[in-house]
């Protein structure tokens, strides 16, 4: 059994603020150093759960910010680490090599979700993303990409809002709730040691039953709303895209992997100023 693990940081137990997940601002260095350790701990808990379920190969993809957060020296020795960027498939780089299931650990709710820790979709400039008319965040877009390669998402861990988002989208997915938001920057969380136990057990249980991939329609259409029109001005440079509104860009393709590429190009171009 081959297992793919994508690890983000906002949904790790105890995390409530960007200062704890910011790898670049020197003022955040001390906080960040503690929380990347907790992130590595939850990644390892997922590896342990996968091994308990009979995994023979485990790939862990660092999926947060510059994607150099997980501590290699602390990684479970049964796993391989995919670190750094840019990566063509970003949070799911390598998924195309073929896996029996994917696990999304430390994930967060999509932009605009009420009572969700650090809700966002890739970056602040993205206000909403719709796939075939349905609002989606990183859980949904990445699940659709995994589905395009025939890989089901078996487990999603994060706060309660993330779990609800995942369950609404993915039939039979196992969700592991490690915290509940009080506001965007406050939460009631289980202790990290408890979170690791919940993740390990949740993964082992989930991998004992079959899961079906989310199959994106063909053709599919993605629409992205940005905050400012100049961001859409840049994004619409993607060949084949259209501009249905002042801050909105749209792209349609029969091949979901091409559509995902356009989405990656949209938000990276929108960063230009």
**Which of 42, 85, 40, 92 minimizes the C-alpha distance to 67?**
85
In whole angstroms, the minimum distance from the beta carbon of 89 to Zn ion comes to: 16
Tokens 């989310």 correspond to 214
Contact flag: residue 36 with Zn ion (CB under 5 A): no
Q: Which stretch binds Zn ion (CB under 5 A): 38-46, 56-64, 144-152, 262-270?
A: 56-64
In whole angstroms, the minimum distance from the beta carbon of 47 to Zn ion comes to: 19
Q: Among residues 64 and 196, whose Cβ is nearest to Zn ion?
A: 64
Q: Are 41 and 209 in contact (CB under 8 A)?
A: no
Contact flag: residue 64 with Zn ion (CB under 5 A): yes
Is residue 120 among the annotated active site residues? yes
Closest residue to Zn ion using C-beta atoms: 64
Contact flag: residue 42 with Zn ion (CB under 5 A): no
Tokens 């947060």 correspond to 64
Burial (CB < 10 A; 0-12, 13-18, 19+), residue 157, is buried
In whole angstroms, the minimum distance from the beta carbon of 64 to Zn ion comes to: 4
Contact flag: residue 159 with Zn ion (CB under 5 A): no
Tokens 């659709």 correspond to 144
Q: Among residues 106 and 213, whose Cβ is nearest to Zn ion?
A: 106
Which of 108, 120, 211, 253 is labelled catalytic? 120
Give the distance, in angstroms, between the CA of residue 79 and the centroid of all CA atoms in the same chain: 19
DSSP 204-266: HHHTTS--------SSEEEEEEESSHHHHHHHTTSTT-EEEETTEEEEEESSHHHHHHHHHHH
Q: Among residues 48 and 62, whose Cβ is nearest to Zn ion?
A: 62
Contact flag: residue 119 with Zn ion (CB under 5 A): no
Q: Among residues 9 and 59, whose Cβ is nearest to Zn ion?
A: 9
In whole angstroms, the minimum distance from the beta carbon of 39 to Zn ion comes to: 10
Q: How far apart are CA 54 and CA 117, in angstroms?
A: 33
Q: How far apart are CA 69 and CA 195, in angstroms?
A: 19
In whole angstroms, the minimum distance from the beta carbon of 27 to Zn ion comes to: 19
In the shown chain, the binding pattern of residues 4 to 23 toward Zn ion, with x for contact by CB under 5 A and - for none, equals ----xx--------------
Contact flag: residue 223 with Zn ion (CB under 5 A): no
Element of type H or E holding 126: strand 126-131
| List of residues contacting Zn ion (CB under 5 A) | 8-9, 64
Residues catalogued as catalytic: 120
């Amino acid at each position: 059994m081959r297992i793919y693990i994508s690890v983000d940081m906002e949904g790790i137990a105890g995390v409530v603020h960007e200062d704890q997940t910011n790898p670049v601002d020197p003022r955040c260095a001390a906080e960040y150093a503690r929380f990347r350790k907790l992130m590595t701990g939850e990644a390892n808990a997922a590896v342990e759960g996968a091994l308990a379920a009979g995994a023979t190969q485990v790939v862990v993809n660092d999926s947060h910010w510059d994607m150099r957060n997980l501590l290699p020296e602390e990684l479970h020795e049964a796993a391989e680490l995919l670190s750094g960027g840019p990566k063509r498939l970003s949070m799911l780089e390598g998924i195309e090599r073929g896996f029996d299931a994917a696990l999304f650990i430390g994930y967060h709710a999509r932009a605009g979700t009420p009572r969700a820790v650090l809700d966002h979709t890739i970056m602040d400039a993205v206000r909403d993303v719709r796939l075939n008319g349905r609002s989606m965040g990183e859980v949904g877009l990445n699940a659709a990409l995994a589905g395009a390669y025939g890989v089901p998402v078996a487990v999603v861990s994060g706060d309660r809002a993330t779990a609800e988002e995942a369950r609404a989208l993915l039939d039979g997915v196992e969700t592991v709730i490690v915290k509940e938001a009080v506001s965007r920057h406050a939460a009631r969380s289980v202790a990290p040691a408890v979170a690791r136990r919940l993740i390990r057990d949740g993964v082992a249980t989930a991998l004992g039953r079959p899961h079906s991939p989310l199959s994106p329609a063909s053709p599919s259409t993605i629409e992205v709303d940005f905050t400012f029109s100049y961001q859409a001005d840049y994004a619409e440079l993607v060949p084949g895209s259209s501009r249905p509104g002042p801050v909105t860009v749209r792209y349609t393709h029969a091949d979901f992997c091409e559509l995902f590429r356009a989405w990656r190009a949209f938000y990276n171009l929108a960063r230009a100023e």
